[in-house]
Structure 1
Amino acid sequence: MLIDATAVPADRGGVGRYIDGLVPALDAIGCDLAIACQRSDAERYERLAPSATVIPGPAAVSRRSARLAWEQTGLPLVAQQVNAKVIHAPHYTAPLRSSCPVVVTVHDATWFTEPAHYERAKGTFFRSAIRTSLKRAARVLVPSKATRDELIRLLDADPTRLDVAYHGVDAELFHQPDDAERARVRSRLGLVGPSCPGGYVAFLGAQEPRKNVPNLIRGWVSACERRADPPALVIAGGSGHDSEIDQAIAEVPARLRLLRPGYLRFADLPGFLGGADVVAYPSHGEGFGLPVLEAMACGAAVLTTPRLSLPEVGGDAVAYTEEDAARIGTDLAALLDDQPRRTALGAAAHERAAQFTWASSAEAHVAAYARAVSP
Structure 2
Amino acid sequence: MTLSIAFDATPLLIPRSGIGSYTLELLRAYDKLEHTLRLTMLSNRPLPAPLNLPHILQKTLPFPSRWLWLHTKFSQAIQAGDYDLAHFPNNSAPLNLKKPYVLTIHDASLYRFPECHPWQRKVTIKAFLPAAARRAAQIITVSDHAKRELMHYLNLPESKFTVVHEAAGEQFRPIQDPQQIAALNHKYNLPAHFILSVGTQEPRKNLPRLIEAYAQHIAQDRHLKRYKLLIVGGNGWGQATLDAQIERLGLTKQVIRLGFVPDADLPALYTRASLFVYPSLHEGFGLPPLEAMACGTPVLTSLGTAMEEVCDNGAAFCDPLHVEDIGRHIATLLSNGEQRLDLRQRGFQTTARYSWQRTAPETLQVYANVLASKRHPAHNQHFQPASHPLQISKSYD
After TM superposition, the score normalised by the length of structure 1 is 0.90
Aligned-pair distance for 1:168? Answer: 2.0
Counterparts of residues 1-375 of structure 1 (less than 5 Å)? 1-31=5-35, 32-38=37-43, 40-41=46-47, 44=50, 47-48=52-53, 50-52=54-56, 54-60=57-63, 63-78=66-81, 80=82, 84-98=83-97, 100-171=99-170, 173-178=171-176, 180=178, 181-192=180-191, 199-224=193-218, 225-228=220-223, 229-242=225-238, 243-253=240-250, 257-323=254-320, 324-375=322-373
**Deviation string, structure 1 residues 56-79 (Cα, Å, up to 9, x no partner):** 12222664433442233223323x
Quick one: distance in 1 between partners of 2:252 and 2:93?
51
Quick one: distance in 2 between partners of 1:129 and 1:294?
32
Local SS of the residue matching 2:63: helix
Quick one: distance in 1 between partners of 2:31 and 2:177?
34
175-184 vs 211-220, greater mean Cα deviation:
175-184
Quick one: distance in 2 between partners of 1:61 and 1:28?
32
Query: Over the residues paired in the alignment, what is the CA RMSD in angstroms?
Result: 2.1
- Structure 2: segments with no counterpart, 5+ residues: 374-397
**Deviation string, structure 1 residues 143-202 (Cα, Å, up to 9, x no partner):** 11111000112221121010001112212x21112162444333333235xxx5xx1000
Quick one: distance in 2 between partners of 1:97 and 1:312?
36
Quick one: distance in 1 between partners of 2:232 and 2:49?
28
Do the aligned partners of residues 300 and 254 (structure 1) sit closer, same or farther apart at CA in structure 2, a change above 3 Å counting?
closer
Aligned-pair distance for 1:100? Answer: 3.3
- Structure 1: segments with no counterpart, 5+ residues: none
Aligned-pair distance for 1:43? Answer: 6.1
8 Å CA contact 1:117–1:208 kept in 2: the answer is yes
Quick one: distance in 2 between partners of 1:183 and 1:366?
41
Local SS of the residue matching 2:296: coil
Aligned-pair distance for 1:307? Answer: 2.9
Local SS of the residue matching 2:231: strand
Quick one: distance in 2 between partners of 1:143 and 1:165?
5
8 Å CA contact 2:42–2:61 kept in 1: the answer is no
Quick one: distance in 1 between partners of 2:154 and 2:21?
27
Aligned-pair distance for 1:135? Answer: 0.9
Q: Which amino acid aligns with 1:264?
A: V
Q: Which amino acid aligns with 1:286?
A: E
110-119 vs 302-311, greater mean Cα deviation:
302-311
Q: Which amino acid aligns with 2:78?
A: L
Do the aligned partners of residues 332 and 119 (structure 1) sit closer, same or farther apart at CA in structure 2, a change above 3 Å counting?
same
Do the aligned partners of residues 190 and 7 (structure 1) sit closer, same or farther apart at CA in structure 2, a change above 3 Å counting?
closer
Aligned-pair distance for 1:314? Answer: 0.8
Quick one: distance in 2 between partners of 1:146 and 1:274?
29
8 Å CA contact 1:211–1:282 kept in 2: the answer is yes
96-105 vs 203-212, greater mean Cα deviation:
96-105
8 Å CA contact 1:26–1:362 kept in 2: the answer is yes
| Identity across matched positions, percent | 27
Aligned-pair distance for 1:247? Answer: 3.2
Aligned length: 362
Q: Which amino acid aligns with 1:169?
A: A
8 Å CA contact 1:223–1:329 kept in 2: the answer is yes
**Deviation string, structure 1 residues 219-278 (Cα, Å, up to 9, x no partner):** 111221122452000111112212531232123345961111112232321121121111
Quick one: distance in 2 between partners of 1:41 and 1:238?
17
